[in-house]
Structure 1
Amino acid sequence: MIPVQGYDGQKVAVLGLGRSGLATAAALEAGGAEPVCWDDSPEGRARAEAAGYACRDLTRPDAFDAIAALVVSPGIPHLYPKPNPVIAAAMAAGVPVDNDIGLFFRSWASAAFASYDSVPRTICVTGSNGKSTTTALIHHILREDGRPTQMAGNIGRGVLDLDPPEEGEVVVLELSSYQTDLARALTPDIAVFTNLSPDHLDRHGGMGGYFAAKRRLFAEGGPDRAVIGVDEPEGVYLANQIMMGRNDDRLIRVSSARKLGDWGWSVFARKGFLSEWRKGRQIASIDLREVTGLPGAHNHQNACAAYAATRALGVAPRVIEAAFHSFAGLPHRSQTVAEKRGIRWVNDSKATNVDSAAKALEAFSNIRWIAGGLGKDGGAGALSGHLGAVRKAYFIGHSARDFALELAPLEHEICETMEAAVAACARDAEAGDTVLLAPAAASFDQYPNFEKRGEHFTALVEALPG
């Protein structure tokens, strides 16, 4: 646990009592504060009370009397589409609002750091797609290099639930826009921006607000080194804002779309090969085509970002290359779950939007595509230009018929359920085909989350005859 500093003897309100909220309450208590908890659901309040924390109805007019700060869980809106009433009341009362990420950065350094020869460091990863894979890959490379490391944030543990860092340790955090948007302190040693595509626009008041939330990771405190994906205009802009000149190697540009120019430091992937360039000459190259845990151009972008971040810490290219090959990938993200009768079955249930589904569709050939669920604004029509490898689609869920209309004349079958789709793919697929679950839709019409959807797909595939 990371004890929260700066609130000793003070009352701090905690809104939202899920995993991060309860970890925040414990870390506040460990730092000498008195957590005052609230959740809109009786179940959340019951969890807090069972853990020994006092609950106070933060919707009462006098709720923020003698409260030093309000700490908010990431899923609770504080500005758009409209502020949660509790947050609005705290702001009206002049109470500072923060989240666990902000508390982590204000409390990360301890007195023990003064005795370390090698001070612990933090790497933070943000962006629209690929954050989890990039974060996990960085963590894996560091472990393979023998370095002490922990992983947390939007993946794995809550940040305040981490163990106090040991000498030379590197903590790798995945941060969503919900987490970067409100944190009052953001001071990573290395910050990574993967890419940007439309998502969570209602929460951020549009694309500009969404990008602004991501940009805060690079603007609030300023990392010692930044790794920026420059395949979208926002990444190009962000890189330009950070750099002091073309040869400024505090910035590492990353691309999976093109060879980068004569910059101070860049890492890019072309035709399946990763290249590192510094000051106009190539330093290293890695063949990514046979790295089974990182298929497709979108994963090659993740590989470039992870390579750049770990090279910035001095990890050798040969160590990184070996770690690429031993990386198994993450569940629900272009995850090969089985190969039966020459057919590859891939679970990319995390592809919940059009952009991430498009990247998955471009990563494989001879695709039997399972898609659908609870469609998002804009529909699936934007995928029309990414269907060249699709032999047939099998649509499920609430948006099945909408997808069929929007993607006509693609050959398809309306399956409705995952069971029917997997059975139809097993009936139709031939050796050399890839059955790809890349829904391009949310899961909430049939499943509580994308993980359960992917687990159901995997279980059905595993039950098929070999």
Structure 2
Amino acid sequence: MIPVRGYEDQTIAILGLGRSGLATARAALAGGARVVAWDDGPAGRAAAEAEGIALADFSRPDGLEGVAVLVVSPGIPHLYPAPHPAIRAAMEAGVPVDNDVGLFFRSVALSDWHEMDRPPRIVAITGSNGKSTTSALLHHVLTEAGLQSQLAGNIGRGVLDIAPPPDGGLVVLELSSYQTDLARALTPDIAVFTNLTPDHLDRHGGLGGYFAAKRRLFAEGGPDRAVVGIDEPEGLYLANQLVEGRGDDRLIRVSVTQKLTEGWAVFARKGFLSEYRRGRQAASIDLRHIAGLPGVHNHQNACSAYGAARCLGLAPRVIGAAFETYPGLPHRSQVIAVRNCVTWVNDSKATNVDSAARGLEAYPRIRWICGGLEKEGGLAALLPSAGSVVKAYVIGREAEAFAMQLTGIEAEVCTTMARAVERAAEEAEPGDVVLLAPAAASFDQYDNFERRGEDFAMLVEALS
């Protein structure tokens, strides 16, 4: 646990009592603060009461009396589409609003760091797609290299729930736009930007606000080094903002659409990762046969993780060897079975059009299980990537409406996952890939994308 610093004998209010909220409460108490908390759901309040945490409804008059800071969980809107009543009350009363990530960066540097031979370093990774895989891959590389690494944030454990990093220790944080948008302190040693595609637009007031939330990771504290994907205009702009000239080695640019030879760059083309520095090739890794990194989208993740590992001083051969043993993440291009020469892949994390498109581009002949709670914008942007789809099996409560948008693709309305798996198994031929890449949220039928992926895996396992 990272005890919260700077609020000794003061009152911290915590709004939202899920994983991060409860971890924040414990860390605040460990740091000597008083804690009051609230959750709009009875289950969250019950969990807090079971740990002896005092409750108070902050949206009521005087609900924030004597409070030094309001700490908000990531899922609670603070600006768009409208602030939560408790957050509005805090802003009107002049109470600072923060989150656990802000408290982490404020608290993680302990007084004994100056006595260490190698002070701990923090790598923070954000972006629209691939940040979970990039974070997990980098953590895997560091661990395989014999370094002490902890993985936290939007993946793994809450940021305040990890152990204080030791001499030479490393912390890899995956940070969502919800987390970077509100944190009052953001000071990683290395910051990584994977890419940008439309997502969470209602929470950020549009694409510009979404990008601005991501950009805060690079603008607020100023990382020592940055790794930035430049295949979208926003990434190209961000990279330009971070350098003083072409030879500025504080930045590594990343691409999977073009060869990069200026400055320090990492790119992937035709399955080969290349590193260029000062106009010369420094290293190359063949990614084509690495089972845990299929497809161009994972090659982009590999480039981002490689760049961060190089910033930390790892040799290319060490990184390449660790890539070979990377097992992949659950629900992210995860091969769960190969039966009768048919491969079953769980990409339940593909909850938006762009991430699903990347999965569809990774395999040559696909039977596609898709559907769920559709996000704004429709499916038209997905269709150019669906050329390898033999047939779609559509699930979800609005499966028929979803299927009608799949112009030019044979689609069968299955509604349930069980029916979709059954039909795909009946029709799949040797060499086919049955891919769960929903291109939609899970909440119409499942609590989260993990539960959706687990259901898919269980049904595949049950096939005779």
Any residues of structure 2 matched to 1:380-459 within 5 Å, and which?
A: 380-459=379-458
Any residues of structure 2 matched to 1:70-219 within 5 Å, and which?
A: 70-219=70-219
Counterpart residue number, 2:286: 287
Partner Cα separation in structure 2 for residue 26 and residue 444 of structure 1: 30
Counterpart residue number, 1:249: 249
Partner Cα separation in structure 1 for residue 24 and residue 184 of structure 2: 15
Question: Offset of 1:409 from its aligned partner?
Answer: 2.5
Question: What runs of 5+ residues in structure 1 fail to find an aligned partner?
Answer: none
Question: Offset of 1:215 from its aligned partner?
Answer: 0.2
* Equivalent residues of 2:261, 2:280 under 8 A apart: no
Question: Offset of 1:381 from its aligned partner?
Answer: 2.0
Counterpart residue number, 2:317: 318
Question: Offset of 1:38 from its aligned partner?
Answer: 1.1
Question: Offset of 1:257 from its aligned partner?
Answer: 1.3
Any residues of structure 2 matched to 1:223-372 within 5 Å, and which?
A: 223-262=223-262, 264-372=263-371
* Equivalent residues of 1:370, 1:435 under 8 A apart: yes
Partner Cα separation in structure 1 for residue 181 and residue 110 of structure 2: 25
Deviations 1:37-61 (A, max 9, x none): 1111222111111101111121221
Partner Cα separation in structure 2 for residue 404 and residue 46 of structure 1: 42
Deviations 1:385-427 (A, max 9, x none): 1111111111111232223221222112111111111111111
Partner Cα separation in structure 2 for residue 450 and residue 84 of structure 1: 25
Partner Cα separation in structure 1 for residue 425 and residue 29 of structure 2: 54
Deviations 1:303-340 (A, max 9, x none): 00000000111111111111111001000000000001
Partner Cα separation in structure 2 for residue 77 and residue 128 of structure 1: 18
Partner Cα separation in structure 1 for residue 362 and residue 131 of structure 2: 18
In the superposition, the TM-score normalised over structure 1's length comes to 0.98
Deviating above 4 A after TM superposition, structure 1's stretches of 4 or more consecutive aligned residues are none
Counterpart residue number, 2:27: 27
SS at match of 2:136: helix
* Equivalent residues of 2:261, 2:276 under 8 A apart: no
In the superposition, the TM-score normalised over structure 2's length comes to 0.99
Q: CA RMSD in A?
A: 0.8
SS at match of 1:221: coil
SS at match of 1:403: helix
Partner Cα separation in structure 1 for residue 407 and residue 38 of structure 2: 49
Question: Offset of 1:261 from its aligned partner?
Answer: 3.5
AA partner of residue 210 (structure 2): Y
Partner Cα separation in structure 2 for residue 449 and residue 42 of structure 1: 19
AA partner of residue 133 (structure 1): T
* Equivalent residues of 2:261, 2:277 under 8 A apart: no
AA partner of residue 202 (structure 2): D
AA partner of residue 211 (structure 1): F
AA partner of residue 126 (structure 2): T
Partner Cα separation in structure 1 for residue 386 and residue 19 of structure 2: 39
AA partner of residue 312 (structure 1): C
Partner Cα separation in structure 1 for residue 345 and residue 182 of structure 2: 36
* Equivalent residues of 2:193, 2:228 under 8 A apart: yes
SS at match of 1:442: coil
SS at match of 1:209: helix
Partner Cα separation in structure 1 for residue 403 and residue 88 of structure 2: 43
* Equivalent residues of 1:375, 1:398 under 8 A apart: no
Question: What runs of 5+ residues in structure 2 fail to find an aligned partner?
Answer: none
SS at match of 2:151: strand
AA partner of residue 318 (structure 2): V
Counterpart residue number, 1:10: 10
* Equivalent residues of 2:343, 2:431 under 8 A apart: yes
Deviations 1:142-184 (A, max 9, x none): 0000000100000010000110111100000000000000000
Percent sequence identity over matched residues? 69
AA partner of residue 411 (structure 1): E
* Equivalent residues of 1:311, 1:317 under 8 A apart: yes
